[in-house]
Amino acid sequence: MDRPLPQSDFGLIGPLSLIGFLALLLVTPVPCLAAGGTSATNDAVSRARAMEKDHRAEALKLLEERLTEDPADSDARTLHGIVLSWEGRYDDARLDLRMVLAAHPGHKDALAALINVELWSDHPAEAEKLARSGLDHDGRNPDLLLLRAKALKAMLKLREAHEAAKIATQIDPGNRGAAVLRESSLRPWLLTLTHTSDWFSDGRTPWREDQLALSHAIPAGKMIARFSDATRFGDGSRQTEIDYYPRLRPGSYAYLNAGYSPDAKLYPRYRAAADIFQSIGHGFEVTAGYRRLAFGSGVNIYTAAATKYHGNWMLTGRTYLTPDSIGTSHSVQITLRRYFGDGQSYCTVRGGWGSSPAEINNVTDIGILSSRAFAAEFAHGLPRRLSFLMQGGVSQQDRINITGLYDVTLSANFYFHF
């Protein structure tokens, strides 16, 4: 039998002492919370998730503080890697995500994030390998199937990409991204029809241009053949061009262009262009290029650009420098684009100022001394292999014989995948 408490002991837990004991319980931290357990983890990660889209620097700081407290917190480290990848810090993101997968090989969020890192940094073979390893353990995961399909398409293994996307849509019929990729993966050809009209405030004859382009993806990059037909002041002119976008190495690619006009009435007799694009990390890409247009004695144009990718946003600043006998004219163009989730849709706003705040292509562009321009465009995918791009813009121009001329431009582009 337990020994009964003596009277003196009972007095210790009398009313006043019991109140003190309860107060002590209230002010004493629960051990698991004080140790920074699950509640602390959830709090840090949930707070970071709330600010990951619009306040990434703050989210990264919060997650880094959490990882200092507990380096083994896989949820915090995964989210840290994801935010780093959105910032274009691919090497840093890889370190975090691989660390999580080393400790937790089945961590789905970390695996998907690492596959995206490899896709975005132009390593589709590595992305496909990672997706395939995940599907070995979870063969009916539609997200992994879609990621594998994207990697296969980037590798131009189109039939395999189609099959992976097909399985993803069978498992998840509402997966829009898989449906779009399934439709496009076996259709490497793209036919584009474009019509552009320009109206001028002084009543001069509008400018009309129609283009037909055919593009095709090849293992080394993408090639485009384009035929243009323009009309101005009753004169017609034609031009044929070839564009080529070769891949140089991961993170680097080029743009090459060659064009010829047999009549040289509105287009240059010939044109040549070359750009080099280089990713420099942290979501930045830089570009340097050259244009040669055979108008008269010839026009040389030098261009440079810097692009920042931030989640679904793209911001680009580009300049054109055109030297001639009286000096060097220059122009600046700023472009902001928002991409949407289906891989085909986006909207863009663009502003520019200077001698020619857009690419020079024809004689209407050559006569501009200074200009201020604004344009917007919207692209959207349609059923049955179709998509379209609508563009509209207005510019105020000073030319050799007129100032304050307004030019209103409307353009419609229709795309057919086959």
Residue by residue, DSSP assigns 166-217 as HHHHHH-TT-HHHHHHHHHHT--EEEEEEEEEEEETT-PPPEEEEEEEEEEE
Residue 80: what pLDDT?
A: 94
CATH 1.25.40.10 positions along the chain are 31-184
Rounded to whole angstroms, the maximal C-alpha distance in the chain is 117
The CA distance from 244 to 255, in Å, is: 6
Domain with CATH 2.40.160.40 in the chain: 189-417
176-185 and 158-171 helices, crossing angle to 10°: 150
- What fold does the segment set 31-184 form as a domain? 1.25.40
**CB neighbours of 16 closer than 8 A, spacing ≥ 6?**
none
Does residue 333 sit in helix, strand or coil? strand
Right CATH for 189-417 from 2.60.40.10, 2.40.160.40, 3.10.450.50, 3.20.20.140 = 2.40.160.40
User: What's the pLDDT score for residue 22?
Assistant: 40
Give pLDDT, residue 293. 95
Q: Are 177 and 341 in contact (CB under 8 A)?
A: yes
- pTM of the predicted model, to two decimals? 0.74
Q: What is the pLDDT of residue 386?
A: 85
CA angle 409, 415, 416 (to 5 degrees): 160
Digitized pLDDT (tens) for each residue of the chain, 418 residues in all? 333 333 333 333 344 343 443 443 344 443 333 334 445 556 778 888 887 667 888 889 999 999 999 999 999 999 999 999 988 889 999 999 999 999 999 899 999 999 999 998 889 999 999 999 999 988 889 999 999 999 998 888 888 988 998 899 999 988 878 887 877 777 778 999 999 999 999 988 899 999 999 999 877 788 999 999 999 887 899 999 999 999 888 889 999 999 999 999 999 999 999 999 998 888 899 999 999 999 988 999 999 999 998 878 899 999 999 998 777 889 999 999 999 866 678 999 999 999 876 788 888 888 788 999 999 999 998 766 788 999 999 999 998 889 999 999 999 999 998 8
pLDDT at position 342? 65
292 forms bridges with which residues in the sheet? 272, 300
Structure tokens at 28: 């004493």
The pLDDT score that the predictor gives to residue 355 is: 82
